[in-house]
Amino acid sequence: MEIISDLHIHSRFSRACSKQINIDNLEKYAKIKGVDLLGTGDFTHKEWYNEILEKTKEDENGIRKTKTGFPFIWQTEISLIYTQGGKGRRIHFVILAPNKDVVDQITEFLGSKGRLDYDGRPIFGFPATELVEKLMSISKDIEIIPAHIWTSWFGILGSKSGFDSFEECFQDQVKNIHALETGLSSDPLMNWRISSLDKFAITSFSDMHSFWPWRLGREATMFECDLKYKEIIKCIRNKKNISTIEVDPAYGKYHYDGHRDCNIVFSPKESKKHNNICPVCKRPLTIGVESRVEELADRKENYKPKNAMKFYSLIPLSELIANSYNTQPFSKKVQFEFDKLIKNFNSEFNILLNVSKEDLNKITNEDIINMIMLNREGKLRIQPGYDGVYGKLLRPGEKFEIKRDKKFQKSLNEF
């Protein structure tokens, strides 16, 4: 069976997350999205942990199910902030666990290292090597996935506080790392340019902070296996029967270089012309994923390995409808059109990937259909995100509209 999963989510107890996140809403909107399996998110937080226990029951395969049978697996994210090699490091990790007993042991260990009650994504001051070694001593079935690996501030390969390789970070514990998470600002094609990453499975998850369909499942990983924890981990560790759904990397908040306070956004080539210095404030630019990949790459652009995994690049349906109406994804007009499409075609992923143009034509207007088809064909244009600012979906013929010096605007439009 094919399982569309989002195994990096958060609860309402994580910083900057919706207070309306609960198990019922997660199940409801996962079904609308077309996601078949969710991570629990934030299992180290006591209140959320208790809610997971109250709302779900664990089967013999490590799957927790609601009363209606919707499945979750134990998952959390933690942040490590420490010094290694004379440099401050800030690295996020997704942790998957096989059952409640293992979760309790993980939580006990982390509780001995710092507070767990203040945030669903707790921060600790010990190195990644210690994390991996300790969790492997608890259970070899625990999966540790470096999260959004290229993000400037909190990715293992990020420009601000990351490393130049997984080996540099994990040292002798790299043998226990089997996967990476692409993050919003990268996709498999970008990660294939670094040969040292070939040994790791590529996964993609939303890291969502709300349950709305333009956040939940915006990135996902598909497994072809039985709905069992060990089977899912087997797919990851064997790099088989796995594929991903990504957003266009330009849509991510750290794809290009720039300074949001100065309204400066540069491509890698432009940044080099300015020596990575902001022309407005004269301080170093926040170097984004595109530049960082270029820095570490030992392969040419568009390199594709033999027997490469399949992946889809999709912008969420609500974003497409909002673009057609020139409004926001949460507007009533967008919600009405979205609900109409879901009522007729069951789920968002079914609409984005499968429903024919002829069938769509019976339900919605030509402009929305055109956006869905361009999305499916990978022909949408995105104004790149930078320095914490999301990318912007552009309408056909629309130009970049970043308010700044005309010389720099012209340079970007010509790039």
Which domain covers residue 369, as residue numbers?
316-376
Q: Give a yes or no: residue 77 inside a domain.
A: yes
Same domain, yes or no: 90 and 192:
yes
Q: Give a yes or no: residue 137 inside a domain.
A: yes
How far CA 195 is from CA of 165, 166, 297, in Å, comes to 11, 12, 8
Flag whether the pTM goes above 0.75.
yes
d(CA 239, CA 273): 40
Q: Please give the pLDDT value at position 1.
A: 85
d(CA 67, CA 190): 41
Answer yes or no: are the C-beta atoms of 170 and 190 closer than 8 Å: no
What CATH number corresponds to the domain at position 177? 3.20.20.140
Q: Please give the pLDDT value at position 265.
A: 93
Same domain, yes or no: 8 and 82:
yes
Domain boundary among 208, 230, 250: 250
Answer yes or no: are the C-beta atoms of 25 and 241 closer than 8 Å: no
Q: Give a yes or no: residue 68 inside a domain.
A: yes
Same domain, yes or no: 222 and 354:
no
d(CA 207, CA 125): 22
Q: Please give the pLDDT value at position 395.
A: 80
Closest Cα to residue 186, out of 212, 152, 210? 152
Same domain, yes or no: 326 and 245:
no
Q: Give a yes or no: residue 264 inside a domain.
A: no
pLDDT digits (tens, 9 = 90+) for 274-288: 999 999 999 999 999
Q: Please give the pLDDT value at position 90.
A: 97
Same domain, yes or no: 61 and 140:
yes
Same domain, yes or no: 236 and 352:
no
Which long-range contacts link 170-176 to residues 24+ away (Cβ below 8 Å)? 170/128, 170/129, 170/132, 171/129, 172/129, 173/128, 173/129, 173/132, 173/133, 173/136, 176/132, 176/136, 176/144
Domain boundary among 233, 250, 267: 250
Domain boundary among 205, 232, 250: 250
Residues of the chain with pLDDT under 50: 408, 410-415
Q: Give a yes or no: residue 410 inside a domain.
A: no
Number of domains in the chain: 2
